[in-house]
Chains A and B, each alone.
Chain A
Amino acid sequence: MSRKLRYVLILVALIALAGVGYLLFDREPEPQPTVAKPSRIVDGLDMDTGLIAEGDYLLVKGNCLACHSAKLVTQNRATREGWLEMIHWMQEKQGLWDLGAQEGPILDYLATYYAPEESGRRPPLEDIEWYILDTID
């Protein structure tokens, strides 16, 4: 994706999010859910967090990372249902707030960019860094 297109997309997303935020705030003031400010993006990753800087990642940044590190997101993989289950667990047990209208976009983001991959019962060994072993004691 070109830098310009990405910029435009982010701008559009921000305006849309600002609208959602405004509507939420207008209806029922909820201080917690927030949209984070964009930061530097390198190779498609948000440099603050390591999140894939596509879609509604700023919603994830604003809501999910208030409590835990982004690494808890980026190292996990799940379907939309799986991510929803995790959100419900955090709401029941860990004090996460009601995500309101932001829940849908957050789930879309997570299910799109952090979806499960088929790996079977034992995947091949990957990312092997070969090195010459010195076998002389």
Chain B
Amino acid sequence: MLGLDDADPLPGKHPGLTVLNDRPVNAETPPHLLNDSVTPAALMFVRNNGLVPRGLPETPTTWPDDWTLRITGEAVPEPVTFTLAELRRRFPTHTYQITLECGGNGRKEFSPPAKGNQWGNGAVGCPRWTGVRLRDVLEAAKYDPRKAVYIGYYGKDTHLSGDPDKVPISRGVPISKALEDESLIAWALNDEPLPLLNGYPLRLVFGGYPASCSGKWLSEIAVRDRVHDGEKMEGQSYRVPCEPVAPGTAVDDEDMCIILEMPVKSLITSPRTGAVIEQGVPLSVGGHAWCGSSEVARMDYSIDFGSTWSRCRLQSPANRFAWQRFTAEVTFPQAGYYEVWARATDADGRAQPMVLPGWNPRGYLNNACHRIAVKVV
């Protein structure tokens, strides 16, 4: 069963990715491999709920023109179908650099442990996405703005059990989010066809929301007259307690609320943790900071466990929802063991916590400060 399959479990991906699960395929990128300002395709993390559709090329070089996308749901007068070729020809094309982060990124640290893939810090990436605005396509399908509440997607991935009637995942976003400029139906990542494991040939991209909203292998978008009720929208999936709870609390489904915007966060991508340096030599530290709504306004680092903080240089984002590069030259007062902690603060003054934020049953939204170990000798 397992182990007999010789096929590459991660086609098109860097060998340095950490595989958390091979059925379904889930893999994260260690922070030091995420140092590029624009994340290369091979380093984009993989998070799947179902099985990758069969019959698609492992390393795509072109697009299937006849791939179809249906626009359905209560808030369109009748279903409309577009081929991928029609999407590309008919609508204006846009490119944005957009951060996608799994809602469960950082789950590994929660105590008591939260169930699911035990993500470290690397279920995040920020490549350039090219496609058409979802808004333009919904308008072409004559969606009814008075009725539309939510959009929900369906893709061609299949359920783990092999049951063709079961949908592995069908999530979505409120219509207001769907209509934003940066909300894309995308076919390209860094100007190439999407990697198979990231949704080739067509997917949604919503910046600032849990990446599970950005459906892959996209075949249908339903414009709903209610909050979408697809697989993994309800119950406890991608939800957190509506009211804060003590760690380990059992929370009823009706007391769980859907995660919308992701919190402010940052990652030290250079150097790799464990650096040994000589005393008196400044250490160049760099990384990225991002948040779900506005912009990251301020970036600080600490080498004394938060007792004192120093400012990092922080670049502006390439566009809304793109992560921002930060850098700092760090000097250490004497030899010994240090941790460099990084803390981002958004434009609304919300900073990353140094301890774990609010415990929740499924372990979402851990935006605690990232840190690396450094030894000065």
Q: Among residues 261 to 309 in chain B, which have CB atoms less than 8 Å away from a CB atom of chain A?
A: 271-278, 281-284
Q: Mark B12-42, 1 if CB is under 8 A from A, else 0.
A: 0000000111111000000000000000000
Q: Does B350 contact A (CB under 8 A)?
A: no
Q: Is B21's CB under 8 angstroms from A132's CB?
A: no
Interchain CB contact (< 8 A) of A122 among B22, B273, B354, B375: B354
Q: Is A95's CB under 8 angstroms from B166's CB?
A: yes
Q: Among residues 103 to 147 in chain B, which have CB atoms less than 8 Å away from a CB atom of chain A?
A: 109, 111-113, 115-118
CA distance A48 to B118 in the complex (A): 21
Q: Among residues 165 to 214 in chain B, which have CB atoms less than 8 Å away from a CB atom of chain A?
A: 166
Q: Does B355 contact A (CB under 8 A)?
A: yes
Knowing A75-B20, A125-B273, A131-B272, say if A65 contacts B115 (CB, 8 Å).
no
Q: Is B161's CB under 8 angstroms from A94's CB?
A: yes
Instruction: Give the total number of A-B pairs whose CB atoms are below 8 A apart.
Output: 96
Q: Among residues 357 to 377 in chain B, which have CB atoms less than 8 Å away from a CB atom of chain A?
A: 368, 371, 373, 375
Q: Among residues 102 to 137 in chain A, which have CB atoms less than 8 Å away from a CB atom of chain B?
A: 116, 118-123, 125, 128-133, 135
Which one of A5-13, A22-30, A66-74 is at the B interface?
A66-74
Please, which residues of chain B bring their CB within 8 A of the CB of A95? 159, 161, 163, 166
Q: Does A78 contact B (CB under 8 A)?
A: yes
CA distance A49 to B283 in the complex (A): 42
Contact-residue size bin, chain A (C-beta under 8 Å from the other chain): 35 or more
Q: Is B116's CB under 8 angstroms from A76's CB?
A: yes
A55 to chain B, nearest CB (A): 20
CA distance A65 to B23 in the complex (A): 9
Q: Is B274's CB under 8 angstroms from A131's CB?
A: yes
Q: Is B276's CB under 8 angstroms from A125's CB?
A: no
Knowing A71-B22, A75-B21, A130-B276, say if A125 contacts B111 (CB, 8 Å).
no
Q: Is B373's CB under 8 angstroms from A125's CB?
A: yes
Q: Is A65's CB under 8 angstroms from B2's CB?
A: yes
Chain B interface residues toward A at CB < 8 A: 1-3, 19-24, 109, 111-113, 115-118, 159-161, 163, 166, 231, 235, 271-278, 281-284, 339, 354-356, 368, 371, 373, 375
Other A-B pairs, 13, CB within 8 Å; known A68-B24, A72-B21, A135-B278: A48-B1, A67-B160, A69-B2, A75-B20, A75-B21, A94-B159, A121-B356, A125-B339, A129-B274, A130-B375, A131-B272, A133-B277, A135-B282
Selected A-B contacts with CB under 8 Å, 28 pairs: A48-B2, A48-B3, A65-B2, A67-B160, A67-B161, A68-B160, A69-B2, A69-B21, A69-B23, A70-B2, A71-B21, A75-B118, A79-B112, A82-B112, A94-B160, A94-B161, A116-B113, A119-B111, A121-B356, A122-B356, A128-B274, A129-B274, A130-B375, A131-B274, A133-B275, A133-B276, A135-B277, A135-B283
